[in-house]
Chain A
Amino acid sequence: MYKIAIIGGGVVGGLIARAMSKYQGSLVILEKESDVAMGQSKANSGIVHAGYDPEPGSLKAILNVRGSQMMEEVCRELDVKYRKNGTLVVGFNDEDMKRLEQLLERGRQNGVEGLELIDGEAVRRMEKNLSEKIVGALYAPTGAVVCPYELTIHSIGNAMDNGAELLTDFEVTGIERKDSPEPDMGICYKITSADGRTIEAEYVVNCAGIHSDEIARMVDGREFNITPRRGQYLLLDKEAGDLVSTTIFRTPTKMGKGVLATKTVGGNILLGPTSEDIEDKENKAVTAEGLSSVIAREAEFFDLIPMDKVITQFTGLRAHGNTGDFIIESPQPGFINCAGIESPGLSASPAIAEMVEKMLIEAGAAGELKADYEPEVRGIIRFKDMTADEKNSLIEENPSYGRVVCRCEEITEGEILEAIRRNPPARDIDGVKRRTRAGMGRCQGGFCMPSVAEILSDELGIPFEQVTKSGEGSEITFDRTKTGGEK
């Protein structure tokens, strides 16, 4: 019997787990995939929005602004890459500029600091590659970028270091409210997974992203719906990194915020996303139409986009709720929904965790503060960023840092071993990639993938042919070509 079960190992579930791991009482994170950060926390724009966009008074507005203020400190504690690069919402005509004035006003109402309207010249002084057609912009200096999956992985790692458990491949298929087996404990929730495992918990937090409506229905039949909204992106090589440094948006229309262009914390250029409501919650395909629409819209920002520097494309599914706002509520005692956490969900996530922490404390879920609680984690060593002396003493101490495995990103064997050994452990090629960047560069793992697979095989003690790209069913290779007659 756990005190708290959190369904969903995304950024919201991760930060809630981290917040609650400072209190006595067992905590478990239930994740349907083979690793954490596999849903929209993996594939989104990574923008910490300043908070000028949401309707004043909404949860989105309140939590966005608060989250944006908290983010830098959270990233410091969790050793997550964060860069306050500022945001420019650009306008092309008088109508856009009027809209930007409204946006400025809205931002002020929401409590966003430092907003200002600047003219086209000033825009191009900041970003020399932006189009001459841009006549002005709303500049939000508090806009930032983070690595969303790093934030998720480190927050869950921090929670685990403080005693939380993580159950992967645990796809929740049933939740039953029942009397607690322990006397004087009232009720509890029995949670069943697709593969027949069950756990029990006194408190349950639903952070299931695009599946949060299905989870909510298992408990009380309350009606809200989550529509997967598909966003397709293009990622450019770091060599194209001087295209842009701040985050560029177009003036929003009724259709939404449109595409953006930004430089990620990793130094790549990110272009996208599309915004397509689809039906299948598993459909993460990239389409030719989607990519060309991204390119067409980005062409309004820039005269020239170095398309020969594109290294990959990907799709994320945002959890678009039908209420228009975040759904954070407790429909049943001991059960909390965090649903419809679409943009600005990443920006708001530290504030959502803070809010849910308060709700759980009020509901009696929090024990005493742990005496040995450690709020900080140290990320995986970044060999590449060290000085020559630091590198040498590190290799002397541990020679595995002397073997560069991924040459595009200059990632060493030592870093890959760390990713496999620390919380939450990487168990497949993509898990190593998200934690270390091995395979994320211009060759996209062409050279290092077999070596990473070999390290995984050795370290996990599994045969090479059982090493997967991303969980069971995605094995990289089949059998041995030959065994010389042996078996």
Chain B
Amino acid sequence: MAAANTMRADVVVIGGGPAGMSAAIAAKEAGAEEVVIIEREPRLSGILQQCIHNGFGLHKFKEELTGPEYGQRYEEMVSNLGITVLTDTMAVDITSERTVTAVSKEKGYFTINAGAVVLAMGCREKSRGALSIPGTRPAGVFTAGTAQKLVNIKGYMPGKKIVILGSGDIGLIMARRMTLEGAEVKAVCEIMEDSGGLTRNIVQCLKDFDIPLLLRHTVVEIHGKKRVEGVTVARVDENLKPIPGTEEYIECDTLMLSVGLIPENELSKKAGVEIDPKTRGPVVDENRQTKVPGIFACGNVVKVHELVDFVSDEGEIAGRGAALYAQGKPICEGEQKTDKPKQQEQKKGVKNLSDGNSKGDTVICTICPMGCKILVDAGMNVTGNTCKRGEKYAIQEVTAPERTLTTTMYAEGHIMVPVKTDRPVPREKLSACMKEINCRTLILPIEAGNIIIENIGGTGANVIAARSFL
């Protein structure tokens, strides 16, 4: 360890998740020489590592990727560009003069004087405490992200009988994930009138597994001394207050909370960055520069984004701005990419899915976010679709629904390797495929895309690795 523990860099990026990786790449490409990413985990990619489900990359790569695959593409770019990556390193302070203090086992307690700083710390989940849920304080109350880390990265079951509060995408995805791993998800409670999740997640995470979605319901009490023994749920009125007399006890051992994300701006505040009380993220200009010159911000630290693709876009803007600032160049407007216009995601609650009629089956199309309600009658005549793909999808969904399976596979040393089928498999075969995957042991090293199991369960699909373990 050097006595004078000070480094210099053109651009320092705090956080190696999707926003940070994309910012670092853009900074390098815009001419910054020394670009450093500070990441507290042992590996880049941030929360993408545990988001083993698919649905990422449709905008950026025009193909559907899992979280680890999406992350790995950026990791490779970071590595190829010669960006300095400090993993297992925690940034603990930033000054308005852009001196970043960080700590690690290897480098000790050190500072980096940066030409420009990009804040990309992401967000955290709202905890039970922030919600003030009454009741006891037993084991078995997790935020969905913590539970996701336990099941997908650590490889342990955080629960067997589960109630999920909050039907945003993370809650829905965890409902499916826990079900695939053998847990029973008793209900997903949503305080609002409709789920905040994407239609495809309502269909593929809840409806596929007959998991009840209790709209206009919340958890009013947690029971159990040592471990959760049950929760009381109740219907809420128009002011979102529980209605007395509607309480219902649900026996469970786990409550998962998926009730909102809060940008993590404790470091930003230390640097004197102005925070917007509404978004709880820094106030930024069109180049994603905060009110403190030379400090930029991007991704979920600014505001919680719907899609990781948009986070990457924003990282590019911030990274480029930071590089130009560090080089003393003007950040010309017009050149940088602007935020993609937000798609009008149509969201539908489950109640809409069951109001078909006896003449045929109603299908909510999940091909694109429009969410067309398509009717398929007994003669396979399709109405309600707005494009040809919708017609094909609806017939497939009625006759032989197919799903891409994403899960983890055991490797020696209790390492969980994210895997997926390279094409959709019949929905009714999901559980058989899970069984086959779960009884196999993977030998490392392995590279992303390598075939692990050929023609799983006779479906014609191969199981492939979604992340490299070298």
Query: Shortest Cβ distance from A322 into chain B, in angstroms?
Result: 27
Q: List A contacts of B159 (CB < 8 A).
A: 478
CB-contact partner of A450 in B103, B104, B154, B412, under 8 A:
B154
Q: Which B residues are in CB contact (< 8 Å) with A443? A: 124-125, 127
Those of A378-419 within 8 Å (CB) of chain B = 388, 391-392, 395-396, 399-400, 402-404, 407-408, 410, 412
Q: Given the known A-B contacts A286-B135, A446-B124, A478-B157, are A403 and B129 also in contact in the complex, defined by CB atoms under 8 Å? A: no
- Whether B410 pairs with A482 at a CB distance below 8 angstroms is yes
A464 with B157: in contact, given A400-B105, A484-B410 (CB under 8 Å)?
no
Question: Which of B75-83, B141-149, B335-343 is found at the contact surface with chain A?
Answer: B141-149
Which residues of A have CB within 8 Å of B104?
Answer: 402-403
Pick from B109, B136, B158: contact of A391, CB under 8 Å: B109
Pick the interface stretch among A60-68, A93-101, A178-186, A308-316.
Answer: A308-316
Give CA–CA (A402, B1) in the complex, Å. 12
Across the interface, which residues of B come within 8 angstroms of A444, CB to CB? 127-129
A469–B440 CB distance below 8 A? no
Complex contacts, B105 vs chain A, CB 8 Å: 395, 399-400, 402-403
The CA of A234 and the CA of B154, in the complex, are separated in Å by 32
A408-B159 Cα distance, complex, nearest whole Å: 26
Q: Does A473 contact B (CB under 8 A)?
A: yes
Identify the closest chain B residue to A447 (Cβ). B124
Give the number of chain A interface residues (Cβ < 8 Å): 59
CB neighbours of A471 from chain B (8 A): 226
Beyond A285-B136, A447-B124, A474-B226, 15 additional contacts (C-beta under 8 Å) are A310-B132, A312-B128, A313-B132, A388-B109, A391-B108, A402-B106, A443-B127, A445-B146, A446-B143, A468-B139, A475-B227, A478-B158, A484-B438, A484-B440, A484-B441
Chain A positions within 8 Å of B, measured between CB atoms, are: 234-235, 282, 284-288, 290-291, 310-314, 388, 391-392, 395-396, 399-400, 402-404, 407-408, 410, 412, 442-447, 449-450, 454, 464-465, 468-486
Q: Which residues of chain B have a CB within 8 Å of any CB of chain A?
A: 1, 5, 40, 88, 90, 92, 101, 103-109, 124-125, 127-130, 132, 134-139, 143, 145-146, 149-151, 153-160, 181, 220-221, 225-227, 266, 408-412, 414, 416, 437-442
Known contacts A475-B227, A477-B150, A484-B411; is-contact A311 B130 (Cβ 8 Å): yes
- B contact residues around A396 at 8 Å (CB): 1, 108
For residue B401, give the distance in angstroms from its CB to the closest CB of chain A.
Answer: 25
Bound together, the chains give a CA A446 to CA B141 distance in angstroms of 10
Give bound CA distance, A469 to B158, whole Å.
Answer: 12
Contact A474 to B157, CB < 8 A, known contacts A407-B40, A484-B440:
no
**Alpha-carbon distance between A19 and B137 when the two chains are bound, in angstroms:** 34
Q: Looking across the interface, which residue of chain B has its beta carbon closest to that of A284? A: B136
Q: Which residue of B lies closest to A410 (CB)?
A: B92
Chain B residues within 8 Å of A474, by CB: 138-139, 226-227
Q: What residue of chain A has the Cβ atom nearest to residue B1's Cβ?
A: A396
List of B residues within 8 angstroms of A445 by Cβ? 127, 146
- Chain A residues within 8 Å of B227, by CB: 473-475
Q: A310-B132, A392-B1, A483-B410 are in contact. Are A473 and B226 (CB under 8 A)?
A: yes
* Closest Cβ neighbor of A485 among chain B residues: B439
Q: Is the CB of A485 within 8 A of B226?
A: no
Provide the residues of chain B in CB contact with A483, threshold 8 Å.
410
**B157 adjacent to A391 (CB under 8 Å):** no
Partner of B155, one of A284, A399, A480: A480
Q: Are A446 and B1 in contact (CB under 8 A)?
A: no
Shortest Cβ distance from A344 into chain B, in angstroms? Answer: 26
27 A-B residue pairs with CB within 8 Å: A285-B134, A285-B135, A286-B135, A290-B134, A291-B132, A312-B127, A312-B129, A391-B108, A396-B1, A399-B105, A399-B106, A402-B103, A402-B107, A403-B88, A445-B127, A449-B146, A450-B149, A450-B153, A473-B225, A474-B138, A477-B156, A478-B160, A480-B414, A482-B437, A482-B438, A484-B439, A484-B442
Q: Which residues of the other chain, B, contact A469 by a CB distance below 8 angstroms?
A: 138-139, 226
Q: Which 5 A-B pairs have CB atoms at the shortest separation, nearest pair first?
A: A484-B441, A484-B410, A312-B129, A473-B226, A402-B105
Docked complex Cα distance between A179 and B150 (Å): 55
The reply to whether A310 and B5 contact each other, CB–CB distance below 8 Å, is no
* A391 close to B156 (CB less than 8 A): no
Measured in the bound complex, the distance between the Cα atoms of B103 and A400 in whole Å is: 11
